[in-house]
Structure 1
Amino acid sequence: MALSNVWFTLAAVLVVIASPAKANSNDVFNFALNLECLEGQFYSYAAYAEFARDEVAHLAFLRRTAGAAAVPCPQINIGSSFDTIIQAALESRAGNSVFSPYDNDVNFLLSAFLFEDLGVTAFAGAIPVLTGGDAQEAAAGILGVEAYHGGLLRQWLFENGDLVVQPYGIQVVSFVQALSDLRGKVGGGKDQGITIPAAVASYYGPNILGFFQANIVPTDSDAKIFARTPKEVLAIAYGGDATKPGAFFPSGVNGNIK
């Protein structure tokens, strides 16, 4: 190899190392497609309301955008997966109860809380690695909708924070904090409940809603939303370990990003 070619190759390597990593847009959209398959199925099983329409529209858009490269929906567990997550979040407080998102409205909205914040942080992590303005604009548009969903859910959960989730005997605000703590533990430490930390210091015991201070918008110190990597997203969706499919995706996700 000529010396000039050696220097050219070395320069190219250095450019790649120095530049932010970029990803194939179809790979990123296919990763997102897995999450939209999960959300679309979850909402559609309950009632075909606005959230369901949004998620189904997201799914259709991602398929249309990826074209022939679009992956099929993966195997999804909407049944026992929720109980697995709740058991992990509540630990000994879960008792022998079996959690289902479709038993009542409170359970359903608590379950939706699991997904919506996850979707926002996933798209926030995807936008910087997408190539091209069109792809980034599309991801930002979906992120915005997921953030609206998440904000509405967090507001409702906060306003009804003193309701007791049965049969656990745990207030909604404390239940949410337990779910947030679990997401933070396995998902890169990036999560917040619906109250400021000082207000939930004693969340293992009874709380009085009047003392809570709202945290409807989870942000970092610069008031920006958190961004998660694919591995951090999968660690939550798989129930704790990004390398071991389980929970909502018992056979893993489809596509090149895993």
Structure 2
Amino acid sequence: MGSPASTAVAAVVVVLLCGASARAQDMDKEWARPPYRGFFGAPGSMLPQSDVDLLEFPLNLEYLETEFFCWSALGYGLDAIDANLTGGGPPSIGGQSASLTPFVRDVATQFCYQEVGHLRAIKQTVRGFPRPLLDISAANFGKIIEQALNATLDPPFNPYENSVNFLIASYIIPYVGLTGYVGANPKLLTPQARKLLAGLLGVESAQDAVIRTLLYERGMTRLASYGVGVAEVTAHISDLRNALGRRGVKDEGLVVAPGQGPEGVTVGNVIAGDHLSLAYDRTPEEILGIVYGTGNPTQHGGFFPQGADGRIARGFLV
């Protein structure tokens, strides 16, 4: 029989081997399939392929947010700010300057440049991919609002028409990316990847909180010609995203039913969260179903007429 010390060492080795085996299985589940095993990333970074995939996937949403906020605030998109960050991807469809109050334009401008920074941060860590074709046209946003309200609107909803419409359109996008970051966090293997994701999640969460707060202040305001209030519209948008995500309730409007607010005490719901007021999580599959507007990650459309990019998104389209 070996000494106590040798026995302890052997036990540690067994634990390490078991841990390594479990981690390898996790990587297999999270997009680390042959022949892609190994360490990849931007020059100077060494990340497992699963981390690369999970950090590249959000580029789809970051490109979308950059284009919408920059066009709305400035009247131009990423090509005019830093064409290198586009990776040569096609220009977005339908972007235009929005008719905003000076205050809301200031906020939108800050969001615009924050999203540019997010693109830089991700591409400094992983190679990324060119900007996909994005549809940020008034017509596309109009279809989403009609789908949410289950009604044909006359005149059609136009996110660029005024500040309230812009804020409602803004409500549609950042929250989806936020839930994706929450979902990806426990699947990342390296501190470098987790640090980047935490930084992205912090700012995306703050953007969503600002949008929700500005809308909450206007909650009883009725949208001209539609006979529906702002808070009611957000509830319908959240219901639509829940339906398209197909994984139950992971989305809540600005006002909820009695007993469903924080600790079951409030009906006001300026920040969405579960029964413990923790942020909801979503998988890439759920996110694609939502941003495609189809509820199906294999059927592109909506904001991504030709589909999202990256190995995770492409894996659903083949």
TM-score per shorter chain, which class? 0.7 to 0.9
In structure 2, C-alpha distance between the alignment counterparts of 1:160 and 1:85, rounded to whole Å: 21
> Out of 88, 111, 122, which is 1:51 matched to?
111
Give per-residue Cα distances to partners, 1:79-137, cap 9 Å, x unaligned: 13212211110113x33432221011111000111112111101111111112011011
Asked if structure 1 preserves the Cα contact closer than 8 Å seen for 2:134 and 2:303, the reply is yes
Aligned letter for 1:198? P
In structure 2, C-alpha distance between the alignment counterparts of 1:51 and 1:170, rounded to whole Å: 27
Q: Is 1:191–2:251 an aligned residue pair?
A: yes
Counterpart secondary structure, 2:277: coil
> Out of 267, 287, 290, which is 1:233 matched to?
287
> Out of 153, 171, 175, which is 1:113 matched to?
171
Q: Is 1:29–2:61 an aligned residue pair?
A: no
- RMSD between superposed Cα atoms in Å: 2.3
Aligned letter for 1:191? D
How far is 1:256 from its partner?
A: 0.4
How far is 1:13 from its partner?
A: 11
How far is 1:216 from its partner?
A: 1.3
Counterpart secondary structure, 1:47: helix
In structure 2, C-alpha distance between the alignment counterparts of 1:70 and 1:19, rounded to whole Å: 22
Matched with 1:88 is: 147
Give per-residue Cα distances to partners, 1:210-254, cap 9 Å, x unaligned: xx8310121112221000000110111000322210000011011
Matched with 1:215 is: 269
The verdict on how the C-alpha distance between 1:213 and 1:84 changes in structure 2, with shifts beyond 3 A counting, is same
- The higher-RCO structure (CA 8 Å, 6+ apart) is 1
Structure with larger Rg: 2
The verdict on how the C-alpha distance between 1:14 and 1:27 changes in structure 2, with shifts beyond 3 A counting, is closer
Matched with 1:208 is: none
In structure 1, C-alpha distance between the alignment counterparts of 2:274 and 2:232, rounded to whole Å: 21
Structure 1 residue runs of 4 or more that deviate by more than 4 Å after TM superposition: 11-14, 16-23
Q: Is 1:60–2:86 an aligned residue pair?
A: no
Counterpart secondary structure, 1:103: coil
Matched with 1:142 is: 200
Gaps of 5+ in 2: 1-17, 32-49, 75-108, 261-265, 314-318
Greater Cα shift, 105-114 or 24-33: 24-33
In structure 1, C-alpha distance between the alignment counterparts of 2:199 and 2:20, rounded to whole Å: 34
Matched with 1:207 is: none
Aligned letter for 2:305? P
How far is 1:198 from its partner?
A: 3.3
Aligned letter for 2:268? A
Gaps of 5+ in 1: 1-10, 201-211
Asked if structure 1 preserves the Cα contact closer than 8 Å seen for 2:59 and 2:122, the reply is yes
Q: TM-score, normalised by structure 2?
A: 0.69
Aligned length: 234
Give per-residue Cα distances to partners, 1:12-57, cap 9 Å, x unaligned: 9974697584452221222111110000000000114111111111
